[in-house]
Homo-oligomer: A and B are copies of this chain.
Amino acid sequence: MPGNTIGHLFRLTSFGESHGAAIGGVVDGCPAGLELDLDAVQCELDRRRPGSTPLGTARDEADRVEWLSGLITPVIDPALRLRSGQAITLGTPIAFLIRNADAKPSEYDALKDVYRPGHADKTWEDKYGLRDHRGGGRSSARTTAASVVGGAIARQLLTREGVQVHACVLSVGEVIAKRITDVPDLESVWNNAVRCADPEAVLRMTELIERVRAEGDSIGGVVSCFVRGLPAGLGEPVFDKLDADLAKAMLSINAVKGFQIGMGFHASTMRGSEHNKSFQGGVLGGISNGEEIHFDVAFKPPSTIAQAQQTTDRSGNAVTLEAKGRHDPCVVPRAVPIVEAMTCLVLADHLLRQRSARV
């Protein structure tokens, strides 16, 4: 059974391979009558774009969203006096695509029969019997661009209800930022290459990432996400709890290895008398309590590094692999908008689900 759809009432179906014709998606279930700022959606995508931070990969994609359906635009009904870049949702599926302009498939010919260490090359073949080897095909993090567009639409629905979703980098390797307990200041986060809210940590993180890059290595990190303004009552126990769905959405992001909410793993060391008084993470019994939501997402270091590595090929032979493609030494700065997008998708879905909770 296919797994490329997320959400029930507000749902995104994602498609596309890293080096195919295009990636994209279909948002079905976005309520009709929502004024969409399409430029703001593009803006979110730009934040995820390779090249949006000097610490990222050199792959250069314009990544322009092309809208295919589901919208009333200024040209359709001039009487609505929409400005350019503005649209109104029709309640029908909103389809969009992003062309893979910078696809250089031939660069990947050498990888056709080789399984890169730490990558999903072999598991993908284990599953389907074949794969698109170019740039990881559909296992590439490039597919998250579709999630970012879907999440940006979800965000505009949430904004209308007064919900804010913001993430920032908490740690890079051993460098940990001062924990903030509130939605981070956007300016301070987006004006630095690391996307961390602690200026002092930014310096050390930047230095670490540059050093790791110079060594041809990579490094992991943690992204924190904050939600403010979410109404109490969201979440569907016993299986579709709000935090359960957030955990799933986060673990679906490439390279994520851990999720914690509220006191998280630290809670396992606490006494009840102490924990009852501490921050619960904004969710109790799987349902939002109206307070700020806060959770952390752990990213492993990127598997592609500029060092010779031992691996195997399709025939089981040992192979020495030296990565040539373009890659990030650390994904967490670019992961920030992806964490936000997946969060928005989950929250928009639960916002609509809650509409059926009472007579």
Interface residues of chain A, those whose CB is within 8 Å of chain B, are 1-6, 8-11, 13-17, 20-24, 26, 28-29, 31-34, 66-72, 76-77, 88-95, 97, 105, 112, 117-120, 122-124, 126-134, 137-139, 143, 157, 160, 171, 173-174, 212, 217-222, 232-241, 243-252, 254, 257-265, 267-277, 280-281, 283-290, 296, 298-305, 307, 309, 352-359
Contacts and interface: CB of A to CB of B under 8 A. Distances in A.
16 contacts: A2-B9, A2-B93, A15-B94, A20-B69, A77-B133, A95-B97, A126-B232, A143-B238, A173-B268, A174-B269, A217-B272, A222-B265, A239-B252, A244-B247, A244-B250, A257-B263
Nearest to A99: B68
B16 A69 contact: yes
Contact of A127 (B17, B274, B287): B287
A267 to B, nearest CB: 4
B233 A91 contact: no
Contacts of A357: 31-32, 91, 127-128
Contacts of A244: 247-252
A217 B276 CA distance: 11
A323 to B, nearest CB: 10
Nearest to A11: B2
B300 A263 contact: yes
